[in-house]
């Protein structure tokens, strides 16, 4: 009995994916968005999109404002404002097939690009 319980626990631990963030996200981006921009909702939405994108193997994810609001506990308008800030700061990109279609969001990591280009010099 104890052996089968251990196997179940190990299986659960292997199935559960714990999101990992680049240290930049917590060390620099969080204080910047929450402290400087006074937009904790933007940081929450960024982390939410990061998690959803990682679950989709790093691809863009198509999510409505209503779904974001429901999943994060924010209001729809707060999610919308957070997306606008993240787009302005070029931390995400959004594409849509039409003006009224639900956009697809891609999480951008501009610090990683700068870091790689600096290493090549």
Dump pLDDT digits (tens) for 31-86: 999 999 999 999 999 999 999 998 898 899 999 999 999 999 999 999 999 999 99
Domain ranges of the chain: 20-119
Q: Give the chain's mean pLDDT.
A: 85
Rounded to 10 degrees, what is the CA torsion of 65, 70, 71, 72?
80
Beta strands in 1-121, from DSSP E residues, in sequence order: 61-62, 92-95, 104-107
Q: Which fold has domain 20-119?
A: Arc Repressor Mutant, subunit A (1.10.10)
């Amino acid at each position: 009995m104890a052996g089968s319980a251990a196997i179940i626990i190990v299986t659960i631990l292997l199935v559960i994916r714990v999101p990992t963030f680049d240290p930049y996200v917590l060390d620099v981006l969080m204080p910047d968005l929450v402290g400087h921009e006074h937009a904790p909702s933007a940081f929450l939405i960024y982390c939410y999109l990061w998690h959803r994108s990682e679950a989709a193997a790093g691809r863009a994810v198509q999510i409505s404002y209503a779904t974001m609001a429901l999943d994060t506990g924010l209001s729809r308008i707060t999610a919308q404002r957070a997306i606008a800030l993240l787009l302005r700061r070029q931390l995400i990109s959004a594409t849509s097939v039409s003006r009224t279609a639900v956009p697809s969001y891609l999480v951008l990591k501009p610090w990683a690009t700068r870091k790689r280009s600096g290493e090549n010099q």
